[in-house]
Amino acid sequence: MLKRGSTIGILGGGQLGRMMAISAAQLGYRAIAYAPEGDNVVREVCDDVFANTWDDAAALAAFAARCDVVTWEFENVPVATARAMPEGRIFPHPRALETAQDRLNEKRFVEELGGRPAAYAQVDTDADLVSAIDRLGAPGILKTRRDGYDGKGQWRIGSIRDAQGIRLPDTPLVYEGFVEFAAEFSVILVRGRDGEIRFWDSTCNTHEDGILATSALPAGEAIEAQVGAARELARQVADALGYVGVLTLEFFATRDGPVFNEMAPRVHNSGHWTIEGAVTSQFENHIRAVVGLPLGDTATVARRVTMTNIIGVDIDQANQWLEQPDTHLHDYGKAEVREGRKMGHVTQLER
């Protein structure tokens, strides 16, 4: 266990890192960040921020020298950067990044553990795409194997004709067959250094234009009937990776059981409700795990919880939410409003 006052290094500078740093301070730890991209909204809550490039060996060494432990806040941190941190002082282990950063490898990894992803095919050429559609059918979704998130790097394919109109990017792709589902949900767990695992309740997740709009509890019968099987897969993934920290797996609830969608080796947007809605938030438990503290209780504290993302609008427009009872606003501190950009979130509780 790291003593109070130790320094936690965070790779990345977005809102997830910001909320991690707040939880670190709550527990008596200092935080610094390595964040060469974006607004670096961690800056206001960290003791220092390195804005050097991901491959700056000297800067990475200087950053690591100031950290007692290192973690990351988003899954597109270069694996080489994570591996530049001292062995045994970065959690989760960088192999989690290696697994999650390639959608094809991720699906194969989950299949080996007995999980069931949507039917898929590797796509490297126009002919591969035609073959994939012929074999798996349409509609379907064509995705880049790397770097896509919040609906980016994805194309909906309704027919062979749609495929003929797409100019494939010069990057590896994967085609996924259509999944008929009743609802979408996520399984979020925390795994300690000693291997202990705790789960939060699974929310029903609603997306708009590929971006999470709301996460709500209770999740409904379709999801609740499948959470047990989904948790078992998530547990196997965490154990196989020797994972330490918060891990998220997303699923479709179908008539044949849970279908794996993707995993995020980090705290997750669909877990933001836990800040007010659970005994211990995902952010606090992530910090507890990586510094070696006992894990906190993950029980839900309200009868109903709804987390709503504030997307692409000035955060001041969300102030009206605060007129409602037991409502909590989180402003991410982003200066520039853009379409599709998450500016903050609101959580409402009914106790």
Residue ranges of the binding site for ATP: 103, 143, 148-154, 176-179, 184, 207, 261-262
Of 75, 171, 77, nearest to 122 by C-alpha is 171
What whole-number distance in Å separates Cα of residue 108 and Cα of residue 182? 24
- What distance, in Å, lies between the first and last C-alpha atoms of the chain? 35
Alpha-carbon torsion (41, 47, 49, 54), positive or negative: negative
3-state SS, residue 186: strand
For residue 316, give the DSSP letter. Answer: G
Kindly state the helix (H) or strand (E) to which residue 197 belongs, with its residue range. Answer: strand 197-199
Q: The tokens of 111 are what? A: 């299949």
Q: Which residue shows structure tokens 């995993």?
A: 263
Distance of CA 266 to the CA centre of its chain: 5
10 in Cβ contact with 20 (< 8 Å): yes
Instruction: Give burial (CB, 10 Å; 0-12/13-18/19+) of 219.
Output: buried
Can you say which residues are annotated as belonging to the binding site? 103, 143, 148-154, 176-179, 184, 207, 261-262
Q: The tokens of 228 are what? A: 């047990």
What whole-number distance in Å separates Cα of residue 310 and Cα of residue 322? 13
Which ranges in 174-261 belong to alpha helices (H)? 221-224, 227-241
